[in-house]
Structure 1
Amino acid sequence: MFELYKGSLNVPLLYAKWYEAYKGANLGAFVSFCGIVRAEDMLEGLSFDIYENLLRSWFSTWQERVEKEGVKLCFAHSIGDVGVHESSYLAGVFSKQRKLGLALINDFVEDFKANAPIWKYDLIKGQRIYAKDRSIKLLGAGLLSDKG
């Protein structure tokens, strides 16, 4: 399940939707990770740009990777602005066993941080400022350079 939303995520609704979708799949664990925007410095929120086609491809690669284990992946992310104390990211793994689910959610989130085509901006004093110091260069993206 791959979902993108404008603005912050309705986490309780998504969690319940995913649970209802897979509770009968005979999988014994549902492990999730929810990213919440923290209040830091003068931050009013975060804003996100997404290259949807590449993100869908990245997610499909993950689905293929875990398919042989019978694992179901769920993913939701915000597009645009998300205020402090709201959620911009929710991921879920349904697996036969807890240990597999816990390992996969960690790997999935870490790979997302390193490879997903999503660009993050800080919202400060009504301005959208690229968060370069917290960004990772995506191979071939050209957005960040060694000189920049």
Structure 2
Amino acid sequence: MPRKLRAPKSMFGSANELETSFYAALSAGDIDAMMKLWSEDEEIICILPNLPYAQGHIAVREMWETLFNLGQFNAHILATHTFDNLLTAVHTLLIHVQLTLPNRETQAFNLHTTQVYLKSEQSWRMSVYHATIAQDNNKLIDVLPSLLH
């Protein structure tokens, strides 16, 4: 029986390039493009509001398919904080999301996200994506006090 070959993954020279492709796949509702961004490691993790914890490719794919079946997503980055080194990047974002449902009703909300990217020999890949509803609709973190003690 012939074996089905996997389509080659895109190459990303930086975590920022990968992040841009992630939000493009989200907006397009393209499950195949979304899954090509993830590490091949089965330890990948995705945590989204109101959905179960997903670990591994099958669970992560099912989670994104569930979301894409809800409607059309459009995400806009409002604020970002990044920590990048040679092999790891952690990006914490505040994103504004607009969801257009099949009946054309729209819902808008903000999310705080944390994305962990790992550098393989060939390319950057997503390892962890965690999102939570932002209670403060306009800032990445609360204003820090000027005096700690």
Give the shorter-chain TM-score range: 0.3 to 0.5
Q: Which structure: greater helix fraction? A: 1
Q: TM-score, normalising length from structure 1?
A: 0.35
